[in-house]
């Protein structure tokens, strides 16, 4: 299956930013990036049991002279709040790409609270937040976020809107 061009652009932007490690909790919104990472012999893709492990992975990568990115869903942001103090207090680069839930056409009311809170929670935790709502802005947004994170040693999150990733539909 050929990924939508914006998803291929995400992976290309990560590669251009010299990211060599990707941590993720499985998520349909990141499926094409995850598959590309696993297929790339120059990328180390690490499945996580919980999202905050991805912050530790990024710290270890940075200490080892490499770059990492964390892929997660907005519902996982709440799992990371305490751990986000690591990149903030240690002034280390941290890049996360977050697929949003609880927005455009959401069917699951349990996703709405964290989806609504995600930008504010990340900002309050000291993370610089960027957002991509349209396919044509994804590559530039991810590239700029990676430059900010890795060149300025700050935590940065790119939020991919639910309208961009598509509404989840479950068939009974």
Domains of the chain with CATH codes: 5-165 (3.40.50.970)
Main-chain dihedrals φ then ψ at residue 58, nearest 5 degrees: -65, -40
Distances (CA, A) of 77 to 17, 28, 85, 112, 145: 23, 16, 13, 13, 17
Alpha-carbon gap, residue 19 to 17, rounded angstroms: 6
Q: What is the pLDDT of residues 8-37, one digit of tens each?
A: 999 999 999 999 999 999 998 899 999 999
C-alpha distance across the termini of the chain, in Å: 24
Place of tokens 């590309």: 36
Alpha-carbon gap, residue 148 to 101, rounded angstroms: 25
What does the pLDDT read at residue 167? 72
DSSP H/E element including 138: helix 135-152
Q: What is the pLDDT of residues 42-76, one digit of tens each?
A: 999 999 999 999 999 999 999 999 999 999 999 99
pTM: 0.93
Neighbours of 111 (CB within 10 A): 19
Q: What is the pLDDT of residues 92-149, one digit of tens each?
A: 999 999 998 867 776 777 877 788 889 999 999 999 999 999 999 999 999 999 999 9
The confidence band for 3, taking pLDDT boundaries of 50, 70 and 90, is low
What does the pLDDT read at residue 98? 97
What does the pLDDT read at residue 168? 65
Tokens of 156: 């940065």
Alpha-carbon gap, residue 71 to 26, rounded angstroms: 9
């Amino acid at each position: 299956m050929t990924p939508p061009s914006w998803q291929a652009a995400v992976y290309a932007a990560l590669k251009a930013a010299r990211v060599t490690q990707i941590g993720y909790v499985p998520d349909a919104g990141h499926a094409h990036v995850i598959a590309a990472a696993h297929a790339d012999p120059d990328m180390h893709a690490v499945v996580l049991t919980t999202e905050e492990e991805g912050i530790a992975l990024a710290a270890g990568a940075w200490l080892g002279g490499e770059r990492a990115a964390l892929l997660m869903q907005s519902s996982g942001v709440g799992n990371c709040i305490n751990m986000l103090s690591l990149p903030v207090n240690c002034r280390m680069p941290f890049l996360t790409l977050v697929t949003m839930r609880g927005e455009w056409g959401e069917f699951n009311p349990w996703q709405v609270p964290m989806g609504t809170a995600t930008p504010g929670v990340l900002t309050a935790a000291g993370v610089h937040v960027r957002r991509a709502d349209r396919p044509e802005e994804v590559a530039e947004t991810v590239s700029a976020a990676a430059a900010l994170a890795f060149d300025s040693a700050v935590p940065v999150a790119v939020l991919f809107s639910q309208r961009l990733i598509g509404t989840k539909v479950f068939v009974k």
